[in-house]
C-alpha cells in the first residue's frame, strides 16, 4: 500500500474535526497543536550516522511541524527502541536531550521496547505545542496568493549524496542532513499572516503539490527563484539540473507559505539571518503544480519527492525524505 492510499484509508477512521481531515501535518485539540513523526534506520538516517545526530534529528523534525503552525513547544513523548548497544542508546539520548534543551521542549513521557538483534532502529516522537490564535493549515491558499519559502532547499539531499560517495564525508551539507534546524521563531511570526503554511520535508515539488490539492488551487513555481545556499551551489552548481535536484530532494525542513500578494514577509520581525524567497503563486485552475525557468515552461520530473510504499526497500539510496501525509 502506498502512503497516499494509506492516508486515504485512514481518513475514514480519523473523522474528528481535530484531525483536520488528515490534510495537514498536525491535529489541533483544545488549544494544543499535536504532531507525530518517526525516523527509521536506512530511510531517514544512515547506520553510520553519529547516534547523537539521530536523536537531534528526531526532535527537530517534529518541531518543524510545530513551526509550520506557529506553535510554541510545550512537551514531547518519546518512543525509544533499545538496540542492544548501550553506548549507541546513550549517545542517541544525549542528542535528544540537547535538542530538547535548545528548543525548550520538555520531555514528559513515552515508551520503550527492545529490538531483536539486527533489526533496524525506528524511533518516534509526539510533539505538543501551544496554539496561537491562528493555526494555518495546507488548505487555506487563495487565488492570487504569493508563495514564499522560508529557508533553503537541496542542502540535506546534497549532504546525503556526499555521504553516499564517501561515508566519511564532512562539511556543512552533511551537517544539515544530520542536524536539521526547525524554523520555530519564524513560524511563530509568520503564522498570523499566512493563508496556508506547511513545512517542506518530502521535497518542495511534492509538498507544493499537496498544498495545491488541499487548497483547490493551481501552483506555479519559478525554479530560478529557489533559494540555494552557497555550500549547495559550490557542490552542485546552480543550473536547472541542480535546481530540480534541490526541489525534489527532501529533508529540507524549510517552511512553504501562501501570503496575500501585497504582503512581503521579509518586512516582518523575523529572526536575524532568516532567508525568505518568493518562489511562485497560487491561481485558479486544476489543482496541481507547474514549473517555469527563464520565463519558459519546464516539464515536471517523474519524481516530485518521496512517498513511502509498503514494499519500498530503496531506503537511503533515494534522497532523504520525511514521512508526513
Q: pLDDT digits over 143-159, tens only?
A: 999 999 999 999 999 99
Q: Does 306 have pLDDT greater than 80? A: no
Q: Are 148 and 259 in contact (CB under 8 A)?
A: yes
The CATH number of residue 99's host domain is 3.30.1330.10
169 and 122 in one domain?
A: no
The reply to whether 65 falls in a domain is yes
Q: How confident is the model at residue 85 (pLDDT cuts 50, 70, 90)?
A: confident
Residue 8, pLDDT score: 77
Arithmetic mean of pLDDT, 267-281: 96
Residues of the chain with pLDDT > 70, as a percent, come to: 92
Residue after which a domain boundary falls, among 83, 98, 130: 130
Higher pLDDT, 193 or 314: 193
Q: Do 52 and 151 sit in the same domain of this protein? A: no
Cell of 230: 552557497
Same-domain check for residues 162 and 298: yes
What is the per-residue pLDDT for 312? 45
> What interhelical angle do 204-215 and 240-249 show, nearest 10?
60
First to last CA, the chain: 14
Q: Using the structure block, give the residue that is written with the C-alpha cell 520525511.
A: 322
Residue 178: alpha-carbon gap to chain centroid: 13
Task: State the cell numbers at 299.
Answer: 516539464
Same domain for 89 and 175? no
- Pull the grid cell for residue 44: 531517514
Q: Do 206 and 305 share a domain, yes or no?
A: yes
Q: Find the range with the poorest average confidence among 32-41, 96-105, 307-316.
A: 307-316
Give the model's pLDDT for residue 318. 42
pLDDT at 42 over 60: yes
Weakest-pLDDT range from 43-47, 244-248, 254-258, 304-308 = 304-308
Tell me the per-residue pLDDT of 12-25, one tens digit each, with 9 for 90 and over: 777 777 766 667 78
Q: Name the residue range of residue 99's domain.
A: 3-130
Give the model's pLDDT for residue 317.
39
Residues 14 and 29 sit within 8 Å (Cβ to Cβ): no
β-bridge pairing 196-200 and 254-259: antiparallel
Quick check: is 136 in a domain? Answer: no
Which of these, 104, 283, 100, 72, lies nearest to 191 by C-alpha position?
Answer: 72
- All 3 cell numbers of residue 238? 546552480
What integer pLDDT is reported at residue 118 of this predicted model? 84
Determine the average pLDDT of the residues in 56-64. Answer: 97
Q: How many domains does the chain have?
A: 2
Q: What is the DSSP letter of 136?
A: -
Is residue 163 domain-shared with residue 310, that is, in the same domain?
A: yes
Contacts (Cβ under 8 Å, ≥6 apart) of 28: 18, 20, 34, 69, 131, 135
Q: Which CATH number do you get for residue 283? A: 3.90.650.10
- Assess whether 159 and 113 both reside in one domain: no
Q: Are 77 and 108 in contact (CB under 8 A)?
A: yes
Nearest to 110 by CA among 122, 95, 127: 127
Nine-digit cell string for 315: 531506503
| 218, part of any domain | yes
Q: What is the pTM of this model?
A: 0.90
Nearest to 235 by CA among 146, 303, 151, 174: 174
Query: Which candidate, 103, 129, 130, 67, places its Cα nearest to that of 256?
Result: 67
The three grid cell numbers given for residue 51, joined into one nine-digit string: 547516534
Instruction: Tell me what pLDDT residue 315 has.
Output: 42
Task: Check residue 320 and give its pLDDT.
Answer: 46
pLDDT band for 308, please (50, 70, 90 cuts).
low
> Same structural domain for residues 20 and 167?
no
Mean pLDDT value of segment 188-207: 96
Domain-located, residue 11: yes
Dist. CA 95–CA 52, nearest whole Å? 4
Residue 139 within a domain = no
Amino acid 96: pLDDT: 98
Which residues are registered as beta bridge partners of 290? 220
Buried b (16+ CB within 10 A) or exposed e, 22-44: bbbbbbbeeebbbbbbbbbbebb
- pLDDT at position 323: 37
Reported confidence tier of residue 319, pLDDT bands at 50, 70, 90: very low
Mean pLDDT score across all residues of the chain: 91
Strand order in the sheet with 122-130: 27-29, 32-40, 122-130, 72-82, 107-114
Instruction: Tell me: do 119 and 161 sit in the same domain.
Output: no
Distance (Å, whole) CA 171 – CA 183: 21
Same domain, 114 and 182: no
Amino acid at each position: 500500500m502506498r502512503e497516499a492510499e494509506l492516508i486515504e484509508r485512514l481518513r475514514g477512521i480519523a473523522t474528528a474535526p481535530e484531525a483536520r481531515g488528515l490534510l495537514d501535518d498536525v491535529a489541533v485539540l483544545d488549544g494544543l497543536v499535536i504532531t507525530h513523526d518517526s525516523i527509521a534506520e536506512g530511510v531517514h538516517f544512515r547506520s553510520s550516522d553519529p547516534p547523537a545526530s539521530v536523536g537531534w534529528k528526531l526532535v527537530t523534525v517534529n518541531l518543524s511541524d510545530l513551526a509550520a503552525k506557529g506553535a510554541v513547544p510545550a512537551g514531547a513523548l518519546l518512543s525509544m527502541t533499545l538496540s542492544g548497544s548501550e553506548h549507541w542508546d546513550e549517545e542517541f539520548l544525549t542528542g535528544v536531550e540537547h535538542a530538547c534543551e535548545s528548543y525548550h521542549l520538555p520531555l514528559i513521557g513515552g515508551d520503550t521496547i527492545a529490538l531483536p538483534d539486527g533489526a533496524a532502529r525506528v524511533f518516534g516522537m509526539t510533539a505538543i505545542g501551544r496554539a496561537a490564535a491562528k493555526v494555518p493549515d495546507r488548505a487555506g491558499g487563495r487565488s492570487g496568493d504569493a508563495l514564499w519559502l522560508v529557508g533553503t532547499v537541496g542542502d540535506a539531499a546534497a549532504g546525503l549524496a556526499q555521504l553516499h560517495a564517501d561515508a566519511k564525508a564532512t562539511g556543512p551539507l552533511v551537517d544539515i542532513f544530520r542536524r536539521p534546524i526547525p524554523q520555530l521563531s519564524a513560524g511563530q511570526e509568520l503564522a498570523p499572516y499566512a493563508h496556508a503554511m506547511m513545512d517542506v520535508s518530502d521535497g518542495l515539488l511534492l509538498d507544493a503539490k499537496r498544498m495545491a490539492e488541499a487548497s483547490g488551487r493551481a501552483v506555479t513555481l519559478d525554479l530560478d527563484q529557489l533559494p540555494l545556499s552557497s555550500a549547495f551551489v559550490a557542490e552542485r552548481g546552480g543550473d536547472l539540473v541542480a535546481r530540480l535536484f534541490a526541489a525534489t530532494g527532501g529533508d529540507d525542513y524549510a517552511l512553504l507559505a501562501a501570503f496575500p500578494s501585497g504582503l512581503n514577509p521579509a518586512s516582518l520581525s523575523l529572526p536575524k539571518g532568516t532567508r525568505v524567497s518568493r518562489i511562485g503563486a497560487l491561481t485558479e485552475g486544476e489543482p496541481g503544480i507547474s514549473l517555469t525557468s527563464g520565463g519558459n515552461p519546464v516539464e515536471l520530473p517523474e519524481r516530485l519527492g518521496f512517498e513511502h510504499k509498503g514494499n519500498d526497500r530503496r531506503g537511503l539510496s533515494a534522497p532523504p525524505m520525511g514521512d508526513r501525509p
